[in-house]
Amino acid sequence: MNIEDQQFRMQGVSLNELAKTYGTPLYVYDGQKILEKVSLLQKAFSSVNLKIKYATKALSNINILKLMKKAGTGVDAVSIEEVHLCLHAGFDPHEIMYTPNSVSFDEIKSAVDLGVMINIDNIPMLEHFGTFFGNEVPLCIRLNPHILAGGNAKISVGHIDSKFGISILQLKHVLKVVQAYDLNVIGLHVHTGSDILDAEVFLKGAEILFDAAREFKELKFLDFGGGFKVAYKPHDISTDIMEVGEKVSAAFRKFCKEYGTELEIWFEPGKFLVSESGLLLVKVNVVKSTPASTFVGVDSGLNHLIRPMMYDAYHDVVNISKLEGPERVYTIVGYICETDTIAADRKLKEVQEGDILAIKNAGAYGFSMSSNYNSRLRPPEILILNGKAHIIRERETFSDILKNQVDIGII
Ligand SMILES: *Cc1c(COP(=O)(O)O)cnc(C)c1O
């Protein structure tokens, strides 16, 4: 895990010192961990032509994007703003996959102008694309294989009534459109959900994708999306990436042989690359006993880390102010005026006012989903690289709350 041998250090840097220096709440990311994850994925798929397209939305600080670029990944962007951010961070347009849902055709045209790979996920857009570009711009098509995958209903996007992708049941219609406009389809894509545990789900998706791919003659890549499950608790099971790599690579090589071309295999991991790298450090404001439980109230909440309330996500919590001593059971809650439970019924080293807690697995969908709800300021972000802490985002100030608000002056 991130917190080395319970000394509460990350690459030798003391987390308690960081909290003292930069204050709380504070996001801290382990750059080394991210690089290890990239290497692990590259190793698992070393027998095929792998391209990693990091899912920008998981954690989009430009320094993280630059780190990915340095590690040799491309990126997946889900909005035109993310495309701009990736270009700003130094990615070449051809390294960027743009996978939007429910955006206007104007936004798709802008992305084509920027030279990025377009992934189309509905038939009307495919027709607009054909009308406007014909066969001049290569594209990828996002299919929905209708596989039930992922940790829970809110993060499973491959089921039958999901808004994502073009149903595999509509493949005939897709082929008609492709033919009518002579579309240059060079990639097919599936992304079925998040927190996928076993190789079988990826293999099932692969078989469906292979079947569809046989209908397209000019393919250059197949994209299996993201969704690898990560470990949330000590001894938690996570996707066995070596096993997935071995099984999916074997099936992929076999398909390529049959197809007659050595295609590229793409993955778009978000969580897998950055989740475990991140911690959210918070300070205990109050320890409050009620007849039922003991609440620990901290100086952060769903405005900074919405995953527990939004997805029932599990985040391990450690009291890094206490090396020794007895443990007690607490429910850790945020300061937002809503039900704001970060972690229920957890054993922590006895908590006192002023203690610093580390919330784990805060790298993915932590800061990137944060808000100013309750007019609170967003925390700074720290990246630890080569044993040194770098501030990669300043703490917001009150002027950020007023920014863009217009006082019309007549009230
Ligand atoms: C969110 C998303 C991903 C990343 O999912 P993880 O569960 O973080 O791996 C990949 N591809 C697409 C299209 C996405 O929307």
Chosen domain end from 247, 269, 291: 269
Residue 99 CB less than 6 A away from ligand 1: yes
Domain containing residue 99: 60-269
Within this chain, do residues 217 and 365 fall inside the same structural domain, yes or no? no
* Assigned domain for 250 exists: yes
CA of 202 to the centre of ligand 1 (A): 14
Chosen domain end from 219, 246, 269: 269
In this structure, are strands 26-30 and 381-385 parallel, antiparallel, or unpaired?
parallel
Measured in degrees and rounded to the nearest 5, phi and psi for residue 358 equal -105, 120
Within this chain, do residues 262 and 317 fall inside the same structural domain, yes or no? no
CA of 55 to the centre of ligand 1 (A): 6
Residue to substitute in 76, 97, 274 for testing ligand 1 pocket (most ligand atoms within 8 angstroms of CB): 76
Within this chain, do residues 20 and 123 fall inside the same structural domain, yes or no? no
* Assigned domain for 288 exists: yes
Q: How many distinct structural domains can be found in the chain?
A: 2
Residue to substitute in 118, 142, 154, 194 for testing ligand 1 pocket (most ligand atoms within 8 angstroms of CB): 194
Residue 131 CB burial class (10 angstroms; 0-12, 13-18, ≥19): exposed
* Tens digit of pLDDT at every position of the chain (411 positions): 445 556 799 999 999 999 999 999 999 999 999 999 999 999 999 999 999 999 999 999 999 999 999 999 999 999 999 999 999 999 999 999 999 999 999 999 999 999 999 999 999 999 999 999 999 999 999 999 988 665 666 666 666 667 899 999 999 999 999 999 999 999 999 987 777 778 888 898 899 999 999 999 999 999 999 999 898 888 888 888 999 999 999 999 999 999 999 999 999 999 999 999 999 999 999 999 999 999 999 999 999 999 999 999 999 999 999 989 999 999 999 999 999 999 999 999 999 999 999 999 999 999 999 999 999 999 999 999 999 999 999 999 999 999 999 999 999
Measured in degrees and rounded to the nearest 5, phi and psi for residue 144 equal -110, 110
* Assigned domain for 44 exists: no
CA of 194 to the centre of ligand 1 (A): 7
Contact between residue 361 and residue 278 where contact means Cβ atoms under 8 Å apart: yes
Within this chain, do residues 373 and 229 fall inside the same structural domain, yes or no? no
Q: Which residues pair with 390 in a beta bridge?
A: 383
Q: Residue 200: its pLDDT value, please?
A: 86
Contact between residue 327 and residue 343 where contact means Cβ atoms under 8 Å apart: no
Q: Which residues contact 113 (CB under 8 A, 6 or more apart)?
A: none
Task: Find the helix or strand (DSSP H, E) in which 332 lies.
Answer: strand 327-333
* Assigned domain for 4 exists: no
Residue 313 CB less than 6 A away from ligand 1: no
Within this chain, do residues 290 and 248 fall inside the same structural domain, yes or no? no
Q: Which residues contact 335 (CB under 8 A, 6 or more apart)?
A: 285, 297, 298, 299, 300, 301, 374, 376
Task: Give CB contacts under 8 A, 24+ apart, made by 72-77.
Answer: 72/38, 72/42, 73/38, 73/273, 76/226, 76/268, 77/116
Within this chain, do residues 204 and 253 fall inside the same structural domain, yes or no? yes
Cis preceding linkage at 269, omega within 30: no
* Assigned domain for 47 exists: no
Q: Which residues pair with 28 in a beta bridge?
A: 279, 382
Please work out, in degrees rounded to the nearest 5, the angle formed at the alpha carbon of residue 94 by the alpha carbons of 89 and 96: 55
Within this chain, do residues 109 and 199 fall inside the same structural domain, yes or no? yes
Residue 275 CB less than 6 A away from ligand 1: no
* Assigned domain for 325 exists: yes
DSSP code, position 207:
H
Chosen domain end from 205, 234, 269: 269
- Does 86 participate in catalysis according to the annotation? no
Given the CA of residue 193, which atom of ligand 1 is nearest to it? 7
Considering only CA atoms, which of 261, 262, 267 is closest in space to residue 244?
267
Q: Residue 143: its pLDDT value, please?
A: 96
Within this chain, do residues 117 and 144 fall inside the same structural domain, yes or no? yes
Contact between residue 192 and residue 157 where contact means Cβ atoms under 8 Å apart: yes
Within this chain, do residues 296 and 241 fall inside the same structural domain, yes or no? no
Q: In the block, which residue shows the tokens 């809503």?
A: 338
Residue to substitute in 34, 268, 310 for testing ligand 1 pocket (most ligand atoms within 8 angstroms of CB): 268
Q: Residue 239: its pLDDT value, please?
A: 82
Q: What is the CATH number of the domain that holds 177?
A: 3.20.20.10
What is the spatial distance between Cα 375 and Cα 400, in angstroms, rounded to a whole number? Answer: 10
Q: Which residue intervals of 302-386 are DSSP H helices? A: 307-311
Q: Which residues contact 368 (CB under 8 A, 6 or more apart)?
A: 57, 58, 59, 60
CB atoms within 10 A of CB 24: 20
Within this chain, do residues 317 and 360 fall inside the same structural domain, yes or no? yes
Within this chain, do residues 216 and 67 fall inside the same structural domain, yes or no? yes
Within this chain, do residues 245 and 333 fall inside the same structural domain, yes or no? no
What is the spatial distance between Cα 286 and Cα 281, in angstroms, rounded to a whole number? Answer: 16
* Assigned domain for 106 exists: yes
Q: Residue 1: its pLDDT value, please?
A: 41
Size of the chain in residues: 411
Phi-psi region of 232 (alpha: psi -120 to 50; beta: other; left: phi over 0): alpha
* Assigned domain for 391 exists: yes
Q: What is the CATH number of the domain that holds 287?
A: 2.40.37.10
